[in-house]
Amino acid sequence: MHSLQATVMQIMVDIRNLTEGKMNLEEELTRLKEDNKMVTSHLDALEQSFAELQEKGEVALKQASSRTSSNDHTAVKSIIQPLFCQLCGIDCSHSKKVHVAALAAVKPLDSGEPLELTAEGVKIWHPNWLGQVDDKLNAKFIEEVTERVYNNEKVAVPLFNNVCGYSPAG
């Protein structure tokens, strides 16, 4: 009997230990669940913040790109468009809409030459607006535009002339 009583006592001690272990595991599981909820909540907040930042960044990028598009340089256009008209033999005294339409109608010469000379010796340029910027025909036109702008600036801006060592006399 003594051995039976000792066995029962040992079983009771083991059950008590198992019960304590189970309670400890349940407490730990509860703590882990709470930690998991907190981490999930923080992750959701971070994802929301990231999505908002990404959206703001995309909006800012779109606004920046639309502000710096090639059609948004009015100061440059006010210099270049009349020069293009002059080089292409278009009268710029008409409205901007008219001379822009006239520029759009300029086509390359069938001969492939970048310009033609009038009977008065005036150069009339025929760039290929639909071609590549660096093709032979357009490269010559761009070179002419660049030279004209440069020469206009040399004459118009005395400080530029001094820095570049330009002298109108020589």
DSSP conformation letters of 123-169: EEE---TTS-TTSHHHHHHHHHHHHHHHHHHHHH-HHHHHHHT--TT
The pTM (predicted TM-score) of the whole model is 0.49
Ordered per-residue pLDDT tens for the chain, 170 residues:
679 999 999 999 999 999 999 999 999 999 999 999 999 999 988 899 888 888 888 777 776 666 555 555 677 777 788 888 899 998 888 888 888 888 889 999 999 899 999 999 999 999 998 888 888 888 999 999 888 888 877 776 655 555 455 555 54
CA gap 72, 66 in Å, rounded: 8
Residue 127 pLDDT: 92
State the amino acid at position 64 in one-letter form: A
DSSP reduced 3-state for 94:
coil
Structure-block tokens of residue 106:
């300029």
b/e per residue 10-38 (b: at least 16 CB within 10 A)? eeeeeeeeeeeeeeeeeeeeeeeeeeeee
DSSP reduced 3-state for 12:
helix
Residue 110 pLDDT: 92
Nearest partner of 106 among 123, 85, 132, judged by Cα: 85
Residue 167 pLDDT: 52
DSSP reduced 3-state for 50:
helix
State the amino acid at position 51 in one-letter form: A
Residues 161/167, Cβ–Cβ less than 8 Å: yes
